[in-house]
Every structure is written in C-alpha cells, then in structure tokens.
Amino acid sequence: MNLSLDEKLSLVTGVGFWHTKSFGGKIKHLELSDGPHGIRKQAEGAQNNDSEPAICYPTASALACTFDTGIVGRIGDELGKESKEKGVSVLLGPGVNMKRSPLCGRNFEYYSEDPYLAGRMATSFINGVQQNGVGTSLKHFAANSQETHRMRSDSVIDERTLREIYLKAFEMTVKAAKPATVMASYNLVNGTYSTENKWMLTDVLRNEWGYEGIVVSDWGACTNLTKAIKAGMDLEMPDSFEVHKNALKKDLEEGNITEEEIDKAVYRILAAIEKYGLTDEEEAAYKAPTMEEFLAKESTKRRHELAYQASVGAGVLLKNEGILPLHPEDKIAVIGDLAVKTRIQGGGSSHINSGAYPTVLDCLKTHYPNLTFARGYDSMVLELDEVMEEEAAAVTKDAEIIVYCGGLTDLAEGEGYDRDTFKMPENQIHLIHKLMELGKKIVFLSFGGAPFEMECLEQFDSVLQMYLGGEAVAEAAVALLTGLENPSGHLAETWPLYMKDTPAYSNFASREKHVLYNEGLFIGYRHYNSRKIPVQFPFGYGLSYTDFEYDNLHVEKSEEGFLVSFTVTNTGNRAGKAVPQLYVRNFKGDFERADVELRDFTKISLNPEESKEVSFKLGPDAFQIYDVSEKKWVIPEGEYGILIGRSVEEIVLSENVYVEGVKDLSIPKPELTVSEEAGERFTITSSYAELSEYSETAKKLLDQTVEMFIQMFPGRGLDDPEVHMMLEMFKDGTADSTTLMSHGRIPYDTLYTIIDEANRNYNSGK
C-alpha cells in the first residue's frame, strides 16, 4: 500500500474516539470498542454509558473465580461473534494487571493477584475472540496497579519483581495467544511513561517475546508521539486533533525521528487493518438494533444462558453452617437495596448496556412468593436511614431466615478512582448490627468487584460471594442459594482481615508521583502465606454442597520436568465440581522467594461416588526465577515440594522432589531507584490539579469544570461514579490529554499559557 508521508503521519494517530483513518476509503479502517466482559460500542460523540445493547458477562474478577478456562474461552468465542456482528474490529480487553491492593478501584476488570492464573484466563479469552477474525487488546501494559493519579504515577519496581509478577501474565498470553494489540498503560514505569518505554515495548515485548502485533496507547496516554513511536508504540488513541501529528512532523523535519521508524509503526497498523479492518461501506451499512430487537434474537438468548452458566461457576460459597441450600418451606425475609438494584458490573469504560433482567428479589419470589422485603439502606448514599432500618426489622418478624443482600455499591468502586476504605459502606455496617440483634439466621448474599472487611463475619450463618457476575447474576445467585446449582467458585485473590495486613498498605494510592513497590515479589497470597498472616479467606478457597477426597498422588520425573497425577472422588450425595490446585513449595536459597506458588489448576465435574484421575505436567518454568545479574531465567537447584490443595492454605497431598539447576545461587535484595525528570517544573504532562497550585488560570478552569459536570449530570452529585471518574480524569490526567479531550473547549494554546504562568510563579517562589 502506497501512502504519502502525510498519510503515514496521520495513520499513527486515531480519528475520533474509536477509529483509525481510511483516507476516504483508500484503505480499510479499524473500529475499536471497549470490553472486556461485553461490547460497549458507541457512536462518535456519545456520552460514556450511551452504547448499543450488548451481552454483559461476568467481570474478570468473577470469571477468574470459575478456575475454568473452558467457559472463559466460550465467552471469548461469543464475544468474537457478537463483535463481528456489530462491526467491531478490536475488542479492548482482557486486563491482566496484578491486584496489588484490594483498594484499586478497577480491580473488577482484572483477573487475579496471581500471574499464572491471569495468564491462563487471558489466553483462553483471546483465543476464543480471535478465532472469529476479531482482534483483542491485552492491557494495561504494565504495572498499572492503581487509579489514583493513574496518568501521572510512576511505578518504581525492581526488574525481578517486574519479570516474575507484573509482566508474567503478559508474557504468557503474548506467547500463547498472540493478541492483535497490546495496550500501553497510562502510568510511568521506573521513570518512563509506558507509551515511551523502549525497554518494555521493544526490548522485552518485541525482541524477547516475539510480539508482532500493534502497540496501542490507552486513551489519552500518549503525550509525545515521537518518543512513543521510537520506543515501539504504533497507534495513539484517540484523535489528538493533529496536535501530536504536527509535533511528529516537526520532529521528522528536525531529524529527531526517521521515516523508517515511522514506517515500522505504519506497516504493523496496515497488517492489522488487512486482517481485522472494515471498509467505510461495511461500517455505513451496519444498523444498530434497538433493545427490543436485540433481546428478541436467538443469539442473545443463547449468550444470556452462557452468562448464567459463567456466573454460577463464579459464585464462591465462603461460609455455610448448614443453612444452605435453602429449603422450599423456609420462611424468608429479604433485606438490602442490592436485592432490587442488583450490581452486575462496575462503572467506567467497561460499562455494558444490557437488557433489564430479573433482580435477586424477582428471582427469590419465584421460589418464595410469600417472602417479605425491605431495602434497609440506600445503595446510592453512605448515610444510614433509621426509617429504612426500622422497616427492615419489622418485615423480619415472622421470618426464620434473613437473606441479606449487600457488599460494595457503585459508590464504593469504579474506574478513575480508588476506594478510600476497606470497610463496607457505613449504612450497611449499621444495618447489619441491627439485624444481628434480632437473633435470626442470616445468609449474606455478597456483591462487589473486590474484597472488603466483612462486618460480623463470624455471626453470619452463610456467605455467598457473587462478585460482579454479569446480567444473569441474580438468576445464578438464587439458583445457588436454593440448591438448583452447586457452588464451585474458588477465590482468585486473597481476602485479608484488615487493610493494615495488605502488602502495599504503606505505599498504595498516595498522591505522590513515585509509588515504591517495596513489597517486591510479595503480593497477594505470596505475602500472607510466606509471612503467616491470618486472612478472612485464602486464595483458591471455595466451598461446595458436596465433599471431595484427594488421594493416590504420583510424581514422576520426565524429560520436560515432572508428571503429577492423583485421584479426586466425590464423597458427597450430589453432583459437584472440584477445583484441584497444584502449588510448588519453593527451594529456599540465598534470595527472596515466596514459600509456595500456583503452577497449575483444573476444574472437574463429578457425580456422587465418582472418581477421576487428574494429571498435570510441570515444566522447567515452574521452578524458575529471574536472575537480574545474568539477565536470564534460572532454576535454583534444590528440593521442592509438589503440593495439591483445595486452596493455598489447605494442602491435601504433597511430595518432595529434587530439581537440578544452578547451585549456590545468590541474588541480592534489590534497591529501588527513583528517576527524576529534568527541565521545567511544569510541562504538558503535568495535571491541571498540579498547575492550579501555581496558575490562577488553571484554578479557574478547574472550578468551571466542576460546574460544567454538575450541569451535564443534573441531579447527580460529584460522588456519582460516572461524574467522579470524569472529574478525576480532568483533575489528575495529563494536561495534554485533558485539553485534547475537551474537544476545543480548552484551546491548546491556552495550555501553553497556563504552563508558562505556573513555571513563572513557581520559579519566583509565589
């Protein structure tokens, strides 16, 4: 394809919010759409949650709890088919960032605190989608661990921790699934923006891992297109209204970048367009269905059933004192606003416009038509309401069992901001204590995208955690409560007891620019298990309505490593699914290392008294660590344990093996180094919040923006999830991105004036 120089310069930056350029139909174009648990296809210029009807599957935090790569692959397949139907070229997902802290507001979009589990899930998802001729975008590369100051924060991490924890899931997925695109994240990594980080994008991603696809920026993450292309990024999104293109052209003229370097990006984009692109005529011919038309489709009904199956498989039974499953004759009172405002997903760029499906209360009424109900609290405020609490107490008068629906609300978590507390909302805490005083049996039906401190856990008779389980979550939850389905979900992350116990407690989500990952390798269960810290619920944990027995462990050495086999038997009286997990207990040498690490898992269905043999293959990578001094993966020679567990804390079978490798390996504990930027104090990568401290013009802009959001969303306060996200993006995003996304409301020349004003005042000590 012969493109002019101007067309090449135009191709590396998007047009509008969701497209690449076609130059009037000269070439095909890509249409990108948010995901990953559904398709958020939007017309250009549409508001955040104004998107086409689509299936809403369980979020990644829920899907990972299935420990079932098969159903994740089936969801990927259906999302690929639905994307094809909607004319979507690239679905933006999945997210494999590690859950460094349970307070990250976007944790519901990520699979796990464990890179192996996340990598397996992402691989199945991508293979499912891309077999339909639709691309994916593996994100957010890399170490995007918090939403606070997400476009300005610098993740300071030693290389071994990066390799073994924060890059590992990306490496696994890139090699096994070959995603069409990898999305460079907002944040800096060790002093360099991800979009400009040559070590990550070229040295590691392309040269070491062999990646051949597109690197696309997160939306607004690219502020210097020249540096980004030289580092290995190909496509900036969204449209920067020729501001960045003109800067790139100037740099080309001045010799700061070559046309050959630009050509590399252009060729990769053209290759993706050839494989996944649409013609302008194909896009113009597409007509979006109405919600009524969408819901009437047979494919919608089929996909809803898949969403139900996935949600059933994701539900984690955390506690059961014999009260579940519920019996038909039980007298039930349902308490909680989430029973009628059932949370199916999180807020932000992944918000899906699904149909109106039954709530928890609707579904329970089909089993218990005479149940009583009271909201008890308002999920859209934090303050308690005594009248609502009194009503809740009153409706439980004749009930034997209270089904309490609660957990994290939309106010508590969402994209663009982190949670400010590990506790449940205050109005729920107060209500729970009131309910406990009634002396009734209580089942806690819990929703939320991440762990939280579960109030009065020891006094609940049963706890069923549904995470954010998609459009069918209410149907799935009630099927699990009533025994129509048997719980089989297992936690893909640790639920700590207290926030102070978490590994990043002292250095997470501060508003400081440099975020030091002092905990190193020890995140999630690696931290709690190695340091013997008690938790609410451990990684891999989940109960069932039946029992499973594990025996006959055999470990046999092979050419590739070890063959591990054992038998699982259903010793209960009903069919169920077991989740055997293989951990390796690591050799302890002269270096830091977690005590145990997940190295394989599966999910198997068993009828009563049925037995099945499970086999795992362990290769050399199960024992490797990264030797920074030698710049390679090595195996420390020594004795390792092969462990089979129901969870990381409940090991039921074990055998020790000797593994050959590097003897007497010594790796010193790393020291973190902070890189400071040279030059003026304020630049286009500063935020308007920072600029407003030294610029009266920036301060006025911030005040005007707050007023604008209030007018844009009448009746919705600044703590509304969508408003909160947008306001945080304006305040804490790079001024470059915020200015461009204002669509001309803030002229770019005004930004330069503000920067000059701020630097003058800063330098003069004002």
Whole-angstrom distance, CA of residue 432 vs CA of residue 450: 20
In DSSP terms, 84 is beta-bridged to none
460-485 burial by CB neighbour count: b if 16+ within 10 A, else e? bbbbbbbbbbbbbbbbbbbbbbbeeb
Six token digits for residue 481: 């409560």
Q: What angle do CA 696, 701, 707 make, to 5 degrees?
A: 130
Cβ atoms within 10 Å of 764's Cβ, excluding its own: 8
Classify 638 as helix, strand or coil: strand
Classify 221 as helix, strand or coil: coil
Check if the beta carbon of residue 89 is closer than 8 Å to that of residue 32.
Answer: yes
- Count of residues for the chain? 766
Picking from 185, 274, 262, the residue whose alpha carbon sits closest to that of residue 227 is 262
Please compute Rg for the chain using Cα positions.
Answer: 26
DSSP 632: E
Check if the beta carbon of residue 595 is closer than 8 Å to that of residue 529.
Answer: yes
The kind and range of the H/E element at 113 are none
Whole-angstrom distance, CA of residue 155 vs CA of residue 634: 26
291-314 burial by CB neighbour count: b if 16+ within 10 A, else e? eeebbeeeebeebbebbbbbbbbb
Cβ atoms within 10 Å of 279's Cβ, excluding its own: 13
Picking from 469, 447, 77, the residue whose alpha carbon sits closest to that of residue 311 is 469
Picking from 529, 721, 524, the residue whose alpha carbon sits closest to that of residue 101 is 524
Listed in sequence order, the DSSP H helices in 424-546 are: 426-436, 473-482, 525-530
**Active-site residue among 218, 418, 600, 627?**
218
Check if the beta carbon of residue 567 is closer than 8 Å to that of residue 551.
Answer: yes
Cβ atoms within 10 Å of 533's Cβ, excluding its own: 15
Check if the beta carbon of residue 248 is closer than 8 Å to that of residue 225.
Answer: yes
Distance of CA 251 to the CA centre of its chain: 36
Angle of helix 243-253 relative to helix 259-276, nearest 10 degrees, comes to 140
Six token digits for residue 593: 């290392």
Six token digits for residue 164: 């073994």
Picking from 214, 217, 176, the residue whose alpha carbon sits closest to that of residue 194 is 217
DSSP 200: I
- ω into residue 289 within 30 of 0, thus cis? no
Cβ-Cβ contacts under 8 Å for 527 (sequence gap 6 or more): 502, 503, 519, 533
Per the rule left: phi > 0, alpha: psi between -120 and 50, beta: everything else, 242 is: left
Cβ-Cβ contacts under 8 Å for 1 (sequence gap 6 or more): 27, 270
218 included as an active-site residue: yes
- Indicate the residue type of 348: G
Positive/negative CA dihedral, 607, 608, 613, 618 = positive
Whole-angstrom distance, CA of residue 525 vs CA of residue 765: 48
Picking from 320, 311, 341, 342, the residue whose alpha carbon sits closest to that of residue 444 is 320
Residue by residue, DSSP assigns 351-404 as: --B------HHHHHHHH-TT-EEE--S-TT-SS--HHHHHHHHHHTTT-SEEEE
Which residue reads 């344990």 in tokens? Answer: 641
Catalytic site positions: 218
